């Protein structure tokens, strides 16, 4: 090599290091997406909690009247939570096809193809509904367990 190409020194590298270098950007992107996903879930739960608190505050009189008329706290909490679940299901119906398209397009750029399985989207949708139900349900249950006399006395 020194006789043939004097101006350029011999440089070598290992194949596994070259592959690692190629996928380093994807690895960093994965970490960034993981962090932003966690932050987005926390922010959305806080917003959903605040919206549920606001909704319960606006419906204080209705909750008090229902309680005085004999409604159970669980039924009231389910009624308050149901409004939010409908909105979440609508958002899932919009988000799943969009996410499928984007992720499928991204996966086509890799050498080894991976076919998307719908179980990933079903699991994430169910997890979203569970997290949202827990977030809204705690606030709804708190409003349903409140003393109805205090709510009706202020009106």
Looking only at Cα atoms, what is the longest distance across the chain? 99
Please provide the DSSP assignment of 6-25 as one string.
SSS------HHHHHHHHHHH
- CB atoms near residue 73 (< 10 Å): 17
Q: Select from 101, 95, 128 the least CA-distant residue to 116.
A: 101
Show the tokens assigned to 30.
Answer: 């994965």
Q: Does residue 83 sit in helix, strand or coil? A: helix
Cα 124 off chain centre by: 8
Tens-level pLDDT at each residue, the chain (155 residues): 677 777 888 777 888 888 888 788 888 989 999 999 999 999 998 998 898 889 888 888 888 888 888 888 888 888 888 888 999 999 999 999 999 999 888 888 877 777 888 899 999 999 999 998 988 888 888 888 887 777 677 65
């Amino acid at each position: 090599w020194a006789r043939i190409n004097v101006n350029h020194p011999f440089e070598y590298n290992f194949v596994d290091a070259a592959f690692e270098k190629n996928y380093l950007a994807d690895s960093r992107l994965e970490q960034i997406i993981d962090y932003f996903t966690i932050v987005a879930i926390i922010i959305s739960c806080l917003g959903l909690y605040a919206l549920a608190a606001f909704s319960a505050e606006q419906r204080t009189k209705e909750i008090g009247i229902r309680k005085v008329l004999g409604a159970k706290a669980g039924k009231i909490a389910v009624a308050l939570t149901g409004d939010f679940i409908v909105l979440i299901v609508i958002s899932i119906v919009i988000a799943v096809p969009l996410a499928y398209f984007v992720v499928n397009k991204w996966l086509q750029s890799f050498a080894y193809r991976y076919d998307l399985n719908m179980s990933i989207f079903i699991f994430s949708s169910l997890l979203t509904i569970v997290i949202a139900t827990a977030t809204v349900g705690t606030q709804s249950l708190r409003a349903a367990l409140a003393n109805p006399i205090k709510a009706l006395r202020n009106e």
